[in-house]
């Protein structure tokens, strides 16, 4: 018997799942909250398509994302398409397509799902839900401050008490590496070794490159310069490369700005954090929570990306993994009681004037079908404009709409 015949009749592929009502409600609540905050900050929602031309979108993707994308063939023109693996590249593409003034800021927010192939049995999802923003147009430290302030405000609003935003500046490691003058292969290997905080690999590459003592000391320390903002000063003492020093000055300004705004307590500096050097060009950050062993999200400045779609402009953004944030929320706040119905009515009365009024005021009034268990939700009887409340084990009492709304406190 083939594998296909063995599939249970209700099976779904590995790495995808359904959100049942309680989880779906929490997901919707988080996404709505994020979109509302984005709107309050002037970020308008965009909804890019589910699939795009692979060769177009690839211009804005790192090779691993391209490799892990789900490709489908367009039967109209024979080209390959990819299920969206990354929203940032899509937003960069649509910003480039609009050909707008690169000095005017464009602020976009989104809530969307992305798709990625994963290793078998790695425990990773293949559909990932994200909320995020992109600020395109002008670059610079003010834009960095704006996006980081928005991120930290959002994390505070959604009730993650102990979150950490680990902040780095990819220009620092980039500058230090440039002064090493490594051949291209060795440079790529060293970048990966620094990113992986892999001390044995770093030592091996330094030895092969015959690097001087000061460079060795610097590169062996940089991945571990983690902590309070003072580590930026330590970073300064380890290099003379002008672009690396400029990156640290930039980082210091961002940190000072966030601290002055009262957002400093969630910050942690990690000077070895570069995320992906082929993508990020300035500040980079990841969002962490002590209760979770994986990052909740992250982002950074990517000034070279939009230009790859033909219309250069600076840009910075972040994305949060909705399911991971939900898990962290659950760990921080415990399970939230899901909202039950306030009242039930029979189908024939479900659109009567008083029932409409109750719903408009935010009450949840459902229908009870014959024989349906009502789970202790009181029944309302409508006679003309008159309402009668029938509670289990109590005699029917006349009530009015205003009293019910007031009682519900909505």
199 binds other proteins (CB under 8 A): yes
Judged by beta carbon, residue 201 or residue 405, the one nearer other proteins is 201
Spatial separation of the C-alpha atoms in residues 154 and 160, rounded to whole Å: 9
201 binds other proteins (CB under 8 A): yes
Ranges within 111-140 binding other proteins (CB under 8 A): 119, 122-123
Least separation in angstroms between CB 332 and other proteins: 14
195 binds other proteins (CB under 8 A): yes
Q: Count residues contacting other proteins (CB under 8 A)?
A: 28
Ranges within 208-227 binding other proteins (CB under 8 A): 223-224, 226-227
> Which residues fall within 8 angstroms of residue 41, CB to CB, at 6 or more apart?
107, 146, 150
198 binds other proteins (CB under 8 A): yes
Phi–psi pair at 140, nearest 5 degrees: 95, 170
268 binds other proteins (CB under 8 A): yes
> Which residues fall within 8 angstroms of residue 347, CB to CB, at 6 or more apart?
367, 369
Least separation in angstroms between CB 252 and other proteins: 19
Among residues 135, 166, 322, 355, the one that binds other proteins under rule CB under 8 A: 166
Q: Which stretch binds other proteins (CB under 8 A): 34-42, 234-242, 284-292, 332-340?
A: 284-292
Residue with tokens 């009242």: 343
* CA-angle at 121, arms to 7 and 26, nearest 5°: 85
Q: Which stretch binds other proteins (CB under 8 A): 12-20, 21-29, 78-86, 290-298?
A: 290-298
Judged by beta carbon, residue 155 or residue 268, the one nearer other proteins is 268
184 binds other proteins (CB under 8 A): no
Q: Which stretch binds other proteins (CB under 8 A): 89-97, 252-260, 276-284, 291-299?
A: 291-299
Among residues 200, 339, 373, 394, the one that binds other proteins under rule CB under 8 A: 200
Neighbours of 255 (CB within 10 A): 21
> Which residues fall within 8 angstroms of residue 118, CB to CB, at 6 or more apart?
15, 68, 124, 125, 126
- Copy the structure tokens of residue 168: 């780095």
Least separation in angstroms between CB 406 and other proteins: 46
Phi–psi pair at 329, nearest 5 degrees: -60, -45
Neighbours of 69 (CB within 10 A): 25
Judged by beta carbon, residue 257 or residue 298, the one nearer other proteins is 298
Among residues 86, 134, 144, 289, the one that binds other proteins under rule CB under 8 A: 289
Residues 194/202, Cβ–Cβ less than 8 Å:
yes
Among residues 159, 242, 290, 310, the one that binds other proteins under rule CB under 8 A: 290
> Which residues fall within 8 angstroms of residue 63, CB to CB, at 6 or more apart?
none
395 binds other proteins (CB under 8 A): no
Task: Provide the terminal-to-terminal Cα distance of the chain, rounded to the nearest Å.
Answer: 59
Spatial separation of the C-alpha atoms in residues 224 and 148, rounded to whole Å: 23
Return the DSSP state at 50: S
295 binds other proteins (CB under 8 A): yes
Judged by beta carbon, residue 177 or residue 193, the one nearer other proteins is 193
Among residues 186, 188, 246, 292, the one that binds other proteins under rule CB under 8 A: 292
Neighbours of 360 (CB within 10 A): 9
State the helix-helix crossing angle for 401-408 and 353-360, rounded to 10 degrees: 20
Footprint of other proteins (CB under 8 A): 119, 122-123, 164, 166, 192, 195-201, 203, 223-224, 226-227, 268, 270, 286, 288-290, 292-295
């Amino acid at each position: 018997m083939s594998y296909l015949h063995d599939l249970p009749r209700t099976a779904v592929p590995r790495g995808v799942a359904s959100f049942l009502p309680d989880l779906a409600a929490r997901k919707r609540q988080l996404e709505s909250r994020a979109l509302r905050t984005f709107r309050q900050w002037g970020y308008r929602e965009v909804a890019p398509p589910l699939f795009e031309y692979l060769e177009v979108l690839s211009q804005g993707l790192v090779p691993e994302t391209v490799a892990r994308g789900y490709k489908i063939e367009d039967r109209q023109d024979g080209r390959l398409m990819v299920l969206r693996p990354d929203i940032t590249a899509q937003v960069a593409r649509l910003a480039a397509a609009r050909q707008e003034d690169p000095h005017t800021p464009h602020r976009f927010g989104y809530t969307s799902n992305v798709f990625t192939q994963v290793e078998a049995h790695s425990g990773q999802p293949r559909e990932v839900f994200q909320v995020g923003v992109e600020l395109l147009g002008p670059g610079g430290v003010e834009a960095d401050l704006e996006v980081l302030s928005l991120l930290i405000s959002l994390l505070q609003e959604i009730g993650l008490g102990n979150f950490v935003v680990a902040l780095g500046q990819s220009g620092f490691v980039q500058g230090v590496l440039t002064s090493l003058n490594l051949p291209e292969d060795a440079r790529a290997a060293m970048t990966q070794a620094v990113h992986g905080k892999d001390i044995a690999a770093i030592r091996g590459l330094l030895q092969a490159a015959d690097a001087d003592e000061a460079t060795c000391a610097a590169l062996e320390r940089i991945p571990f310069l983690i902590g309070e903002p003072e580590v930026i000063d330590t970073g300064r003492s380890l290099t003379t490369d002008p672009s690396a020093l400029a990156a640290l000055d930039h980082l210091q300004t961002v940190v000072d700005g966030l601290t002055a705004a009262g957002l400093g307590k969630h910050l942690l500096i990690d000077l070895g954090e570069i995320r992906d050097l082929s993508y990020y060009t300035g500040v980079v950050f990841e969002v962490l929570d002590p209760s979770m062993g994986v990052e909740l999200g992250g982002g950074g400045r990517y000034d070279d990306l939009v230009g790859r779609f033909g219309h250069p402009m600076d840009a910075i953004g972040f994305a949060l993994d909705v399911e991971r944030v939900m898990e962290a929320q659950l760990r921080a706040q415990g399970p939230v009681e899901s909202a039950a119905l306030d009242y039930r009515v029979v189908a024939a009365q479900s659109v009567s004037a008083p029932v409409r009024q109750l719903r408009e005021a935010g009450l949840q009034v459902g229908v009870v079908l014959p024989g349906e268990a009502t789970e202790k939700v009181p029944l309302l009887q409508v006679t003309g404009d008159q309402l009668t409340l029938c509670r289990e084990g109590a005699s029917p009492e006349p009530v009015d709409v205003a009293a019910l709304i007031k009682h519900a406190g909505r």
